[in-house]
Amino acid sequence: MKKISTLATLIALTVLSMQTAYGQLVDYSFTADEGFETGSIALHPDWYDQNSDYQVDTNGTGTVSVNGAETYRKAINQVAFPSNTQYSVGIEFTFDRIFTNANDKHVISVGFKESPTFAGDRVEMQLSHGVAGFFRLKTSNSGPLVGNEKSGGLKEELLGFSTNETFSSSDNLWFGYAITRGADASSWSGFAVLSNLTAGTEIQSFTVAFDTTQDFFTDDSLYAYINSVNSDAQSFTSNRKIDRFTAGSEDVDVFEQVEEVEFTAQQGYEPGSLFGQQGYWTGNSDQTDTEVDATINYVQLTTNKYKQMTYTLPLSTTNGMLEVGGEFRFDRSINTNATGSFMTFNLVDNFSNFPKFIRVDLQRTSADQLRMVFTEKENGFSAFSDLFDESALGLDGGVTNDSSDNLKLSLKVYPGMSTNDWSAAMVLSNMTAGTQVHSFSVEEGEFIVKESWLDSTLYGGFNSSASETDTYTTNRQIESFYVAVATGGAPVVIPYEEWASEYGVGGMDEDPDEDSLNNLAEYALMGNPTNAMDQGVFSTSTSSVDGTNYLNMMHAMLIDTEGVEYNVEVNDSGNLVIGSWTNTGITVTSGALADDYLIVTNAIVTDDENQGFLRLLIVEE
């Protein structure tokens, strides 16, 4: 029997994170190699420009300049995108600005039309020059209920402008807009992203819901375009130049949309009542004061009872999932047997002080015990989680006055096809400790919603719940608030997200326990991402069967491998530098390991003269 050297038993565990690119059908950089000529963009057969307002310069890398003297000018791409679930359009661009106090003047927009000319209905997302020092994103469309939803304000320095100069130039920017077709003409959704390519940062993402005409909804093809509504003089801009244009369409089952508010000065928030800020917050005007600090940004809840604050971004119940939640902290002023809810996130059906709602509460039940409570208002249904100790929130029962860790509470609601087949799931996480505190769910049939909710709109928000005096809490501070939807017409459960939520961790590429395995590897190998001593199931060994020698690699493997791909490769050349890796000559066996995992053994024969190497690559699909 030949001995296997230490090098021969080396196992390489390689974790790769791969992003799937959005299917782009057209991509122009406006160069001569692409058939563009210096002059009107319409000289290229793929473009329509009625008045030659978009001028191509093929020198260098290629650019398109907007005619700044005119208004309402469009460059329309002539490639028809057939009827699909989702459409995307984006531009890479730069522009100059003059400092102004003018409000909501249009800089540039991208969108889709139902015809390849100026006629026909459209939907678009605009970048607007807001009040002094701010920009914002804004919708515009020609549907029956013409939308005009606005994002929060963006400080101009995020776009690369100098706040100390009257005239300044932007960094290189990216502006993208994806729209998703709903069940009917009234159920479209959109997701816009503005990024600073020079700085390598995302400036803002923005989700919207909108309607269109029936003709637009049923049209066989849509056409992507660029639009400049206001002139240079009106928008206080100049040198609007587009370096790249992309557009595409594809069928998409699920599209996650997230709107997150961090109450920062960069998002345009100011000290004072949250009511009315950024055009999105409504409710009780005495609800909150926004405390903006150089390093800490939060909303502090009022000391009064049950004051409602609602974020007016519409969330359609035709989606497969609606989510609301936020990160927060609080002080427990007295360790006593106080009871009552002191942090609430909810989904409501109107902006009054007494809407119908679905909500989750964090509630004190005794001196050191808490629980989550689910409530459906219309029919008076409530459900309660198991009790958990306050120590899981970072509180010390031996201390009279104490402060919690940073926490996150989320409520996911899965709309059904009838009033009695909705479901919900709630999760409380300790973000400081990187652990899940508790979770529980309410299954289909346990509660009944209003009939009018089946094809309607809900809105996310929060509530002050019981008073500080009743709950013996103070400094209840919400540091971030978010709402999200997942389209697709059915509840969406993504295995990794469910696993990450249980542990209170984030994305696949993060490594919260700093053990050199990111969350993707921990998830794939049945590890614990919050415990560096638990890296899951992965080991190597040698064996001999009937005189044949083997090198073995054993690892855990998910039964449901959605989003994760396992690749085992062998290098039998004896040289890791110049040898090649293949997946041939490997014997694979498997058996049961746990509820969601198998144990897999990969073996290669090591009886020849060469040394053998095995490696496992775990890839995010």
pLDDT at 294: 38
Q: What CA–CA distance (Å, rounded) separates 488 from 494?
A: 13
Residues 6 or more apart in contact with residue 8 via CB below 8 angstroms: 551, 606, 611, 612, 613
Name the H helices within 329-478. Answer: 468-471
| pLDDT band per the 50, 70, 90 thresholds, residue 490 | very low
pLDDT at 35 exceeding the cut of 50: yes
pLDDT at 15: 32
* Mean pLDDT across 495-506: 83
Q: What CA–CA distance (Å, rounded) separates 76 from 85?
A: 21
Residues 6 or more apart in contact with residue 97 via CB below 8 angstroms: 129, 156, 161, 167, 168, 170, 236, 237
Place of tokens 């816009």: 192
* Mean pLDDT across 109-120: 89
pLDDT at 182 exceeding the cut of 90: no
Q: Comparing C-alpha atoms, which of 488, 478, 490 is closest to residue 409? A: 478
* Mean pLDDT across 54-79: 89
pLDDT at 611: 61
> Which of 135-144, 243-252, 556-565, 572-581 is least confident?
572-581
How many beta carbons lie within 10 A of that of residue 404, not counting itself? 21
- Extended strands (E) in 464-547: 473-486, 538-545
pLDDT at 173: 92
Q: Are strands 457-463 and 237-250 parallel, antiparallel or unpaired?
A: unpaired
* 428-449 pLDDT tens trace: 998 888 778 888 889 888 999 9
What is the third-level CATH fold of 261-487? Jelly Rolls (2.60.120)
pLDDT at 3 exceeding the cut of 60: no
pLDDT at 284: 62
Q: What CA–CA distance (Å, rounded) separates 374 from 363?
A: 11
Q: What CA–CA distance (Å, rounded) separates 279 from 484?
A: 19
The four Cα atoms 461, 268, 407, 528 give a dihedral, to 10 degrees, of 110
Q: What CA–CA distance (Å, rounded) separates 73 from 51?
A: 8
Q: What is the DSSP letter of 33?
A: G
* Mean pLDDT across 560-576: 76
Written as six digits, the tokens of 567 are: 């690749």
CA angle (155 as vertex; 153, 158 as ends), nearest 5: 125
Q: What CA–CA distance (Å, rounded) separates 497 from 506?
A: 8
Note whether 79 and 222 are within 8 A (CB).
Answer: no
In the chain, the N- to C-terminal Cα span, in Å, equals 41
Domain ranges of the chain: 25-250, 261-487, 496-620
Q: Give the residue with greater pLDDT, 178 vs 336.
A: 178
| pLDDT band per the 50, 70, 90 thresholds, residue 610 | low
pLDDT at 363 exceeding the cut of 60: yes
| Mean pLDDT score of the chain | 81
Phi/psi at 519 (nearest 5 deg)? -60, -35
Q: Give the residue with greater pLDDT, 4 vs 524.
A: 524
**C-alpha gyration radius of the chain:** 28
Buried b (16+ CB within 10 A) or exposed e, 296-328: ebbbbbbeeebbbbbbebbbbbbbbbbbbbbbb
**Count of helix runs (H) and strand runs (E) in the chain:** 5, 44
CA angle (75 as vertex; 71, 80 as ends), nearest 5: 145
pLDDT at 184: 79
* Mean pLDDT across 316-320: 82
pLDDT at 113: 92
pLDDT at 168: 92
Place of tokens 């000529």: 37
- CA distances in angstroms from 64 to 24, 175, 303, 558, listed in the order given: 20, 15, 55, 50
pLDDT at 609 exceeding the cut of 60: no
Q: What CA–CA distance (Å, rounded) separates 438 from 371?
A: 9
> Which of 106-110, 155-159, 269-273 is least confident?
269-273
Q: What CA–CA distance (Å, rounded) separates 524 from 537?
A: 9
How many beta carbons lie within 10 A of that of residue 566, not counting itself? 17
> Which of 143-147, 204-208, 566-570 is least confident?
143-147
Helix (H, G, I), strand (E, B) or coil at 19: coil
- CA distances in angstroms from 232 to 104, 128, 139, 142, 227, listed in the order given: 13, 12, 20, 24, 13
| pLDDT band per the 50, 70, 90 thresholds, residue 124 | very high
How many beta carbons lie within 10 A of that of residue 519, not counting itself? 24
Fold match between 25-250 and 261-487?
yes
CA dihedral over 276, 277, 281, 283, signed as positive or negative: negative
| pLDDT band per the 50, 70, 90 thresholds, residue 595 | confident
Phi/psi at 225 (nearest 5 deg)? -155, 165
- CA distances in angstroms from 463 to 36, 159, 263, 437, 473, listed in the order given: 57, 35, 17, 21, 15
Please say whether the structural domain 496-620 has been given the CATH code 2.60.40.10: yes
pLDDT at 231 exceeding the cut of 70: yes
Cα 11 to chain centroid, rounded: 36
| pLDDT band per the 50, 70, 90 thresholds, residue 18 | very low
Helix (H, G, I), strand (E, B) or coil at 415: coil
pLDDT at 296: 63
Buried b (16+ CB within 10 A) or exposed e, 26-42: eebbbeeeeebeeebbb
- CA distances in angstroms from 135 to 235, 278, 453, listed in the order given: 11, 12, 35
pLDDT at 486 exceeding the cut of 90: no
pLDDT at 101 exceeding the cut of 90: no
pLDDT at 242: 96
CA angle (590 as vertex; 586, 593 as ends), nearest 5: 140
Q: What CA–CA distance (Å, rounded) separates 375 from 383?
A: 7
pLDDT at 403 exceeding the cut of 70: yes
Q: Comparing C-alpha atoms, which of 542, 559, 558, 560 is closest to residue 550? A: 542
What is the third-level CATH fold of 25-250? Jelly Rolls (2.60.120)
